[in-house]
Amino acid sequence: AYDAYRRFIQLFGKVALNIDDEHFDEHFESIKRNAGVKADVDLGTKELKEISELFLQVVHEQTGKAFPEDVYEQLEIAIKAVFGSWSGKRAVDYRREFNITKKMADGTAVNVVSMVFGNMGNDCATGVGFTRNPGTGENEMYGEYLINAQGEDVVAGIRTPKPVQEMQQEMPRLYKELVELRNKLENHYHEVQDYEYTIEKGVLYCLQTRNGKMNAVGMVRTSLEMVNEGLINKNQALLRINPDDLEQLLHPRLDPNNKAVPLAKGLSASPGAACGKCIFDADKAELLGQAGEKVILVREETKPEDIHGFFKSQGILTSRGGKTSHAAVVARGMGKACVAGAEGIAVDTKERRAVIGEQVLLEGDIITIDGSTGNVYLGELDTIEPEFSEELKGLLCWADEVARLKVMANADTPDAAKKAIEYGAMGIGLCRTERMFNDVDRLPIVVEMILANNKEAREVALSKLLPIQRSDFKAVFTTMAPRPVTVRLLDPPLHEFLPTESQLTDELKNLKQLHGTVKGVASLLSAIRLNQSNSADTPTSSPFDDMDEEMVNEVIAKKERMLQKVRELYEVNPMLGHRGVRLGITYPEIYTMQIRAVLEATAECMKEGIPVNSEIMIPQVVTSEELKRVKDIVEVTKKEVEQEYGIELKFEFGTMIEVVRACMRSTQLAKEAEFFSFGTNDLSQATFSFSREDAENKFLPLYNETGILQDNPFEVLDVEGVGQLMKMTVEWGRKSRPGLRVGICGEQGGHPGSIHFCNHIGLDYV
């Protein structure tokens, strides 16, 4: 009785009266030490009575009131405490973490039940169990129990419990009843159950049960096995799985036993875990990566020209940018871990270091990043490699049987295409041609094209890119055949392929200083040699004798031309500037080269009997006249390629829908385009008038926390605004072209709720 009483005082004091456990624990541990015992159950009546009296004093000291002895008063206080817990920090944080909105849940309930006691002797016990193993999904008795204890002892880890299998020897009859209870629960709920029980004087009581929380491995296995056992059908198996959880199976993850304290925290931009040396520039990251070293590319922010560093890095860490920043988008496309927007980290690329509070990370220091949580750790932590299990493959096959929407991938290389096929993609919905420009062997040619002063010079540079792009497209088409591949023509503004103005200014300053210093040293050495020639000493040669003055001047001149071009290309708002189809209209030779590369790759595949399925997509379209102009280029190029290869080409021509005006003119656009693809990243920015990186780093978290916006519109499709534009676009487009194929290739296409809406408005793929 005193054991139950002291437990009640402490639990009531903690839960209902908000008294910290430490105030009770210090008295409890003191009594145990004085009594010379380690386990709670070894305390006698005298000690338990003394503890109860001390606990009553704690309540009075902490609240200024005596412990309430009236049971109705206790009940009233307890009920109010449960209702009040809804607004507690832990509950609020939990709801925020799991996106539980007021519409989903706006309060809690209180259950009042009678008490049973597991601490009345050795014929009593308490335990917690799962009807199946929550870690592996194995169909087995899973759980722990304690003799002569209460449930809190198991849950709080106050005593080390025993595996439930040992109950078969200690309490064989009750173990048999527990097995029967477990089977009844699953047969009734048709779901894995997490249940708690108490045994009082040889009688088994089930205290509560709820659907068990399992990791992705366990959830996938139980889904398949429960179908095979006849407990659920295939549709139920698919619906019981949270799609977000499946990401655990696709990325390396940290060992769950990791207890390390994070050094910093950013945005969980691309899931998975990675560890390696801090490297502060893409060139060195590539060099070390090629040498077999594991590196983490650490930047203030990334640009397209850093892409080669991405390829050889284990993961990416940036101190600026949001979940849809360049680093985040590219990392996700590559399946690499990324933590973005870790603003507590001051990255100094010149000094090759990063400062986090008092901690300084130097280049070469080892860090671990967890893209699933946004945490950054010092040192190397153990990771677990992903396994694409047979169970998951089977589950995805079931999904394909009932799915209406097709799932396409973002991929720009044959390796990425192979990975997409492994993951069950039905095609490539977005192949970004600009990614192919950023490889080391292509970027200098692209720069040459940008620096060209006339069309003829640009065409010379583009003629060098043509065979490279044709080869790239052919490799991707071949890998994906017969699945469709949608190639988006060049989208970003040209200045993104050049260094920034500040970078070039610094480089020129350093080059000129170095040049002046070298010339001065060369003059000094020449004077010394002249003096030596007038003496008996033999003149000596200098490494500066071979310096090519013209070569140095040529490098400086090229940098100056590049700086001038960067200034010419400068735009106040590049997102709304000279990009996408506008580039193709003002520099038609660029799109002509890309279109020819796509069509020649298509022709070569067809000639070789490869069932190619290629599509050309135009970005940033505003008016049907833009589409007509580009379509004219396509038709002319198509005829030329058909004559050259002696074959009739088959491909499709479509447009991205990422500008509000394009939505409003979708009826006209559909007359030219055979398919639409919503670029919801840019469409969301245009609709909200938000810059996504500024919004995510400045005010969007506050908007989400205070309920001004329910979700981040760059992660979850804004159904009420952007979604209505999409719905209208689909309806109007199909009026002029019945059967118009429509998809989505923005970030939101991977969000379960957004996918549900896409299906609702009749999209064909995500």
Q: Which residues are catalytic?
A: 326, 745
End-to-end Cα spacing for the chain? 62
What values do phi and psi take at 156, rounded to 5? -85, -5
CB atoms within 10 A of CB 72: 8
Cα distance between residue 725 and residue 519, in whole Å: 64
Cα distance between residue 17 and residue 28, in whole Å: 19
* DSSP percent split of the chain into helix, strand, coil, nearest 5: 50, 15, 35
Cα distance between residue 585 and residue 535, in whole Å: 71
Q: Are residues 237 and 338 in contact, defined by beta-carbon separation less than 8 angstroms?
A: no
- Residue keyed to tokens 């920015």: 685
3 state DSSP class of 7:
helix
With residue 612 as reference, give the H or E element that holds it.
none
Cα distance between residue 746 and residue 658, in whole Å: 9
CB atoms within 10 A of CB 437: 23
226-to-133, 141, 211, 215 alpha-carbon distances in Å? 13, 15, 14, 16
3 state DSSP class of 269:
strand
What is the sign, positive or negative, of the torsion defined by CA atoms of 254, 260, 261, 262?
Answer: negative
Using the CB atoms, write b or e for 124-160: b if 16+ within 10 Å. Answer: bbbbbbbbbbbeebebebbbbbbbbbbbebbeeeebe
Cα distance between residue 331 and residue 314, in whole Å: 10
- DSSP calls for 457-510: HHHHHHHHHHHHHHHHHHHHHHHHTTS-EEEEPP-S-GGGGS--HHHHHHHHHH
Cα distance between residue 222 and residue 700, in whole Å: 39
Q: Are residues 224 and 395 in contact, defined by beta-carbon separation less than 8 angstroms?
A: yes
Cα distance between residue 101 and residue 707, in whole Å: 9
Q: Are residues 744 and 763 in contact, defined by beta-carbon separation less than 8 angstroms?
A: yes
Q: Are residues 381 and 276 in contact, defined by beta-carbon separation less than 8 angstroms?
A: no
3 state DSSP class of 313:
coil
What is the sign, positive or negative, of the torsion defined by CA atoms of 285, 420, 228, 183?
Answer: positive
With residue 314 as reference, give the H or E element that holds it.
none
Q: Are residues 429 and 486 in contact, defined by beta-carbon separation less than 8 angstroms?
A: yes
Q: Are residues 41 and 149 in contact, defined by beta-carbon separation less than 8 angstroms?
A: yes
Q: Which amino acid is at 96?
A: R
Structure token pair of residue 154: 């198991």
Select from 398, 385, 384, 387 the least CA-distant residue to 223.
Answer: 398
Select from 438, 462, 442 the least CA-distant residue to 452.
Answer: 462
User: DSSP class of residue 750?
Assistant: G
